[in-house]
Structures are given as structure tokens and as C-alpha cells.
Amino acid sequence: MRQPLNCSICGLPIPRKLGWAVGHNAGPVVLNGRCCQDCHDEVVVPARISIQHYLEKRAKRLST
């Protein structure tokens, strides 16, 4: 059995859930990193939403 991966954000082991032990993609917070469910929900998703809002505002400014 493989050693559990550690979360690239909090450093804790990523728990095996439903046979999947490699966690979530941690980008854009950590490039080429993996993260646990808690960091995905509390850090990564808000960062992705923030980036998307920024890009939408920028595109709107450039189109006017």
C-alpha cells in the first residue's frame, strides 16, 4: 500500500476516501500540488472564484 500523500497547503496526510488517496488539485494556490478536502473547500475554491471574478471584471473593462 502506498504512503498517504500530504496536503500541499496544510501539510496533513490526505485521507483515503472512496478508494481515492491523491486528494484534489491544489492549483492555483500551489502549482502541481495536491490538497485535502478541507483545504480544497476553504482555500482553493475561494481562490479560483476570486480569480474568475477578477478576469471577468478585467474583460469587461477591456471591452468598453
Bond into 28 cis (ω within 30): yes
Would the pLDDT of 56 be above 60?
yes
Residue 1 scores a pLDDT above 60: no
Give me the amino acid identity at 33: G
Q: Where are the beta strands (DSSP E) in the chain?
A: 24-25, 34-35
Q: pLDDT tens across 5-45, in order?
A: 899 999 999 988 756 778 999 999 999 999 999 999 999 99
pLDDT at residue 22, as a whole number? 84
* CA gap 58, 64 in Å, rounded: 10
